[in-house]
Amino acid sequence: MPREFSRNQRLGNQVLRTLNELVRFETKDPRLKLISLTSVDLSRDLSVARVYFSLLDPNGDPEPVKEGLERASGFLRSRLGREIKIRHVPELRFAHDDSAAEAQRISSLIDGALDSDQNDEQR
């Protein structure tokens, strides 16, 4: 019987949950307070974890947050090693996930198109 999820997916989900808790409750950097970690992609050999984050303010600048995460990566990796029992803790690489901002932009385009259609029908 095949497994529903591969080891990469299970470990990725566990890494994501643990990192979210660590960022929320253990870090003291103010740049990391208004973010959410959205997903983790593990390399095939589990040596690198690409961690995607989004800003709670979609119009905010992601660069200071990325710098804060990179600065805290050693701390996060060491705490991750204590929380998750694996032989080799993956290297953490961070990337901005702009899907929320893109969704907001598309939603505003749709709203604008609907408004212009209603204005055309009223004429």
The contacts of residue 112 (CB under 8 Å, 6+ apart) are: none
Distance CA 25, CA 65 (A): 16
Domain ranges for the chain: 7-98
CB 40 within 8 A of CB 23: no
pLDDT of residue 3: 58
Note the CATH number of domain 7-98: 3.30.300.20
Give residue 102's pLDDT: 79
| Residue 75 contacts residue 48 (beta carbons within 8 Å) | no
> What is d(CA 44, CA 26) in angstroms, rounded to the nearest whole number?
29
Residue 73 to residues 9, 17, 18: CA-CA distances in angstroms? 21, 16, 13
Would the pLDDT of 2 be above 80? no
Asked if residue 90 has pLDDT above 90, the reply is: yes
- Between 7 and 82, name the one with better pLDDT: 82
Residue 70: per-residue pLDDT: 95
Q: What's the pTM value of the predicted model, to 2 decimals?
A: 0.79
**Residue 19 near residue 39, CB atoms below 8 Å:** no
